[in-house]
Amino acid sequence: MALENKYQGKVEFIVVDVDDPQGQELARTFSVNSIPAFFFIDKDKNIAQQAIGTQAQETMDNMMKSILK
C-alpha cells in the first residue's frame, strides 16, 4: 500500500467487497465483470481512468499523477 501512503490526503482509496450486497450493487453500477477492477474518479466525480486486472505499481502511480495534474 505504498501508493496509499504517497497520496495520503490527495486520493481516497476505497476497497469494495463484491461478495457483500452493497459491493455487488456498486459493481453492477460500474459494470464490473472482472476483479480486480480499478476506477479513478476525478474531483468532478467522473471516471477519469480505469484498469482491469493486476496492475504494476508504476502504472497505477502514473494514472493517479495524470488525474491530479
Structural domain boundaries in the chain: 2-68
- Name 17's Cβ contacts closer than 8 Å, sequence gap at least 6: 23
Helices (H) and strands (E) in the chain, counts: 3, 2
Pairing relation of β-strands 47-52 and 37-41? Answer: antiparallel
Q: Cβ of 30: how many Cβ atoms within 10 Å?
A: 13
8-25, pLDDT tens digit by residue? Answer: 999 989 999 999 999 999
pLDDT exceeds cutoff 80 at 1:
no
Q: Which residues pair with 49 in a beta bridge?
A: 40
> Which pTM was predicted?
0.80
List the CATH code of the domain at 2-68: 3.40.30.10
